[in-house]
Amino acid sequence: MKHTDALDILQNIYGYDSFRPQQGRIIDAVIDGKDALVLMPTGGGKSMCYQVPALVRRGTGIVISPLIALMQDQVDALRALNLNAAFINSSMSARQVAETEAALLRGDIDLLYVAPERLLMDSMLSLLSQCTLALFAIDEAHCVSTWGHDFRKEYMGLSVLHEQFPGVPRIALTATADQRTREEIVNNLALGDASQFISSFDRPNIRYAINEDGNAKEAMLRFLDENHKNDAGIVYCLSRKKVEDLAAWLVKQGRQALPYHAGMDATTRAEHQRRFLLEDGVIIVATIAFGMGIDKPDVRFVVHLNLPKSVEAYYQETGRAGRDGLPANAWMSYGLQDVINLRSMMQDSTADEQHKRVEHHKLESMLGLAELSTCRRQSLLAYFDDELPKACGNCDNCLNPPITWDATEAAQMALSCVYRTGQRFGVNYLIDVLMGKDAERIRRFGHDKQSTFGIGAQRSAADWRTLYRQLIAKGLLSIDLGGHGSLILTEQARPILRGQRSLELRQISRSESSSKRKKRRNVEQVAPQDQPLWEKLRALRTSLSEGKPAYLVFSDSTLVDMVDQRPTNHEQMSAVSGVGKHKLEKYGDAFINLIREHDMFSDYDSVDGDEVHQDSTLNTIT
């Protein structure tokens, strides 16, 4: 079948006029029976690249997905379009599994979602061999790479698809893979003959910012108050305790906040996830246990209160914001302790030495991004071998360029203190020496007699702590995790200490950052005069959602288009982006009637207002 069939499906089922860049080429290739490797950013329309070919080609599309939550969301979304979608996973009873398998054998399922562990069972492979298969879609394909940030050994067995089903096209998809990860995906999945489709990793609607304020919690609250009064969002923390404490603190500040981490019982986690999907304005405070399976398009912000372990993790987690293409924020605050904690976790890991080296390299790259003074988006994209010719104008460094300063002399003091104290102490002790603190411990070691004692008294402890963090990020110091966090000079520190090269660093002034802080609000989605209609449409959407996430009725971007176009009949409503044939029949009249009623009363209000104004003018003249 040809491209017109795919376009017909796109327009009548999904309600969109045309494919996004790359989508059409990918879909054509898979429809023609070719294998494909697809790299496309979160929110870029990856799922369409296998869903449409599965509907065009004869048979059932098999989607390999790593998380039960992701399967549930995808299947709910497809069923909302009146498509026959199902999953088989451990959450189902034996009877439910048997019924789904019978429907699969009858050819009654368009798309079936399974986890890699389930797919590789002999019984499942035997079942699939009896079915007509349209394609295999391997989602989150970076999980097959040992270099990737989220390696899962069960993905390694998926090369069996090439061996046992040679005539069925395979499409591997991911949003996060650098060149080396892409090579591993190709090798480990036997995709040597696959066409590669690499889209830009850029998410221009997301504003990236990394906070330098000393009190991260208070700074985050200011950020939320200034930008996201009533929006849904995700806050990531490194530890479970911090998740619990922060969620409780946000509730005290008047926010709807719910904790989520792997230590909670499954029922509570499921309930918190359900509320996040169904209710407006809910904030989930979570460890990285939350997110991959969440397909909520209207997440307006993602906050990191700890440094992510890699650029890939940062990109993937921030990519959960603004999937609908509307403005969103990625805001992060981190400190020196994050670096120490992450490196400690890596050292204590049971992974082999090669994997530890990979993790160390990735953390160093993340540190580099955090301490950057130029455009963050350019650096982020360059990590994935993607080029942005000009600075983005939508990150903190572009909007408020940081001031750099000659930190050579201060760095020499800090590095000398590490050397003079024997490279056996952590940051807090070194700062006490630099500031000349009268402490028994310092006297006991004789460091009050060293030349570095008290030479840094003109700076605050917070300034020295920031400087040490930057020196670690620049690779001038390493952390001896086996020695209780002692700082150790690296070879790169030598030319700084000897005065052979200078050092420029970001200037960080907490007093200025507080007094000169600028509000950075998102571009308004809806004009002020249209806010009443916007709220009515959202309320109607919720009332029609039947206990499912409201965005399964219509996304925020579709409602924005309704506000702009004001459709008053089926023909006009079908032209709204995201309104397909099934949703038009199911929901169209309700939204059309609401818009008609709203505009009718708005017109009366306008006329009445004009008449009052004219009457008062006439009375004045008379």
Q: Where are the domains of the chain?
A: 3-198, 206-399, 404-506, 528-621
> 334-350 as b/e, with b when 16 or more CB fall inside 10 Å?
bbbebbbbbbeebeeee
Q: In terms of Cα–Cα distance, which of 114, 140, 180, 144 is closest to 46?
A: 140
User: At the topology level of CATH, where does 528-621 sit?
Assistant: DNA polymerase; domain 1 (1.10.150)
Task: Name, in order, each residue with C-beta under 8 angstroms of 323's C-beta and a sequence gap of 6 or more.
Answer: 42, 43, 295, 296, 297, 298, 299
Compute the distance between CA of residue 298 and CA of residue 230 in angstroms, rounded to an integer. 12
Find the helix packing angle between 353-370 and 461-473, rounded to 10°: 130
Q: Which CATH class is domain 404-506?
A: mainly alpha
| Paired tokens of 458 | 């003109």
Supply the pTM of this predicted model: 0.74
CATH architecture of 3-198: 3-Layer(aba) Sandwich (3.40)
**Chain length of the chain:** 622
The CATH superfamily of 206-399 is P-loop containing nucleotide triphosphate hydrolases (3.40.50.300)
Compute the distance between CA of residue 299 and CA of residue 276 in angstroms, rounded to an integer. 10
Q: Rg of the chain over CA atoms, in angstroms?
A: 28
CB 320 within 8 A of CB 234: yes
Mean pLDDT of successive 10-residue stretches along the chain, which has 622 residues? 72 92 93 96 89 96 86 89 94 94 96 94 96 96 78 86 95 89 92 94 95 82 94 93 95 95 90 90 89 79 93 92 94 87 75 78 88 93 92 95 92 96 93 94 94 93 90 86 77 94 78 35 59 90 88 89 90 91 94 88 46 32 27
CA-CA-CA-CA torsion sign (582, 583, 586, 588): negative
Topology agreement, domain 206-399 and domain 404-506: no
The predicted pLDDT at position 521 comes to 33
Compute the distance between CA of residue 428 and CA of residue 126 in angstroms, rounded to an integer. 62
Q: In terms of Cα–Cα distance, which of 221, 256, 227 is closest to 327?
A: 227
